[in-house]
Amino acid sequence: MLIDRIDPTVTYDGPRAALATLSGSPIWGLGDGFASFAEGQGARLLGVYRPRTPYGPGPQLGHYAAPGGREFLRIPSYGMVAGEDWSLRAAEWKVFWLLWQAGVEVLLVGGTSGTCDWRTADEAVLPGDFVLPWTYFSLDPVPTGLPGTELESVLAERVALMDEPFCPSLARELEREVRGLETSAFRRVHGQDAHVVLNRWQYGAFETRGTTLFLQQYGRSIDCPVITGDCLSPVLARVCGMHLAYYHVPANWAEGLRPQDLASTLDQLYLETLPRVCATLELRLLSRIQPPNDCRCRDLLRARPPEYRAALSPPAPEPG
Ligand SMILES: [Zn+2]
């Protein structure tokens, strides 16, 4: 589906909340049963919406009250819509336009990863671990603005600095929450001080051996292990004024680094092992976190002097 027109007159009429979750593969095993699982944990589903966006019909948006009453929004699976190609930029534009319009300040995202760690010792990032990535890189450009809105990517007016793309304050809260689970669900927890780098997955197919060997050797050369997996645009989160709380569950070795049968082992992990643990973790976090004020997420979106804009061609006059 291609966008042939952006409709800037669309207005948002859905629910508002400061917190949202967009998690994907860690919770896939619940299917469409997240609401009933959440209600079993003391949350309440307040409504389900399908708002329009300037870029076409948006993904499903659930409005919840977490245990204790704090409200949050949930868009399942990063905003992917069945039958639509998520690699088109409009998919991420729709998600972030909705969350921006809804007043979201804290965005929780969980994904799964293939680890490309070169180490074999116990400190390595292994399948079954829990990772709070420190930074990321992408082999293809990520979306950087919301076209047709005041957040259109206009470098002369503001620039997103991408130090600390994943809110360090919220990473500490996630680490505290995962270490507090009653059962040791994960082999090892790697906080941001472990300096794990996330390679944003190029949606559509798993990595080739050529890519994973590159990532393994790159990680060795900078002394930072690399994991590769789902990653929404951290630039869009920054431009939209959101603190991004990002966690990853390495599910497997990246292709070619160890003998494994990805086709069968991943299904069991996604369907049986992860979903209840990760959904419980998220509901507990959403029931207590606040937008932090001890991080630099907001400061790293920099307004620029008016001279930068004045150096460009002026906007074209309206026809007629
Ligand atoms: Zn922050």
Q: Where are the domains of the chain?
A: 7-307
* Phi then psi dihedrals of residue 130, to 5 deg: -125, 125
Instruction: Using the mean position of ligand 1's atoms as its centre, give its distance from the Cα of residue 207 in Å.
Output: 30
List the structure tokens of 261: 């049968």
DSSP 8-state symbol, 272: I
Question: What are the structure tokens assigned to 160, written together?
Answer: 């997103």
What span, in angstroms and rounded, lies between the C-alpha atoms of 287 and 41?
11
- pTM score of the predicted model: 0.93
pLDDT at 1 (0 to 100): 45
Q: For residue 315, what are the contacts with CB-CB under 8 A and spacing of at least 6?
A: none
Other residues' Cβ atoms within 10 Å of the Cβ of residue 208: 12
Rounded to the nearest angstrom, the distance between the alpha carbon of 152 and the centre of ligand 1 is: 22
Q: What is the 289 CA–ligand 1 centroid distance (Å)?
A: 12
CA of 110 to the centre of ligand 1 (A): 16
Enumerate residues with CB within 5 Å of ligand 1 (an ion).
167, 243, 295, 297
8 A C-beta contact, residue 86 and residue 78: yes
167 Cα to the center of ligand 1, angstroms:
4
pLDDT mean for each 10 residues of the chain (320 residues): 76 97 91 94 97 96 95 95 90 96 98 92 90 94 92 90 97 95 84 97 86 96 94 94 96 82 72 87 95 97 93 86
Q: What is the pLDDT of residue 141?
A: 87
- What distance in angstroms lies between residue 192's CA and the mean position of ligand 1's atoms? 13
Report how far ligand 1's centroid is from the alpha carbon of 294 (Å).
7
CA distance 177 to 185: 12
State residue 135 phi and psi, 5-degree precision. Answer: -150, -175
Q: How high is the pLDDT of residue 2?
A: 47
* Separation of alpha carbons 141 and 261, rounded Å: 31
7-307 topology per CATH? Rossmann fold (3.40.50)
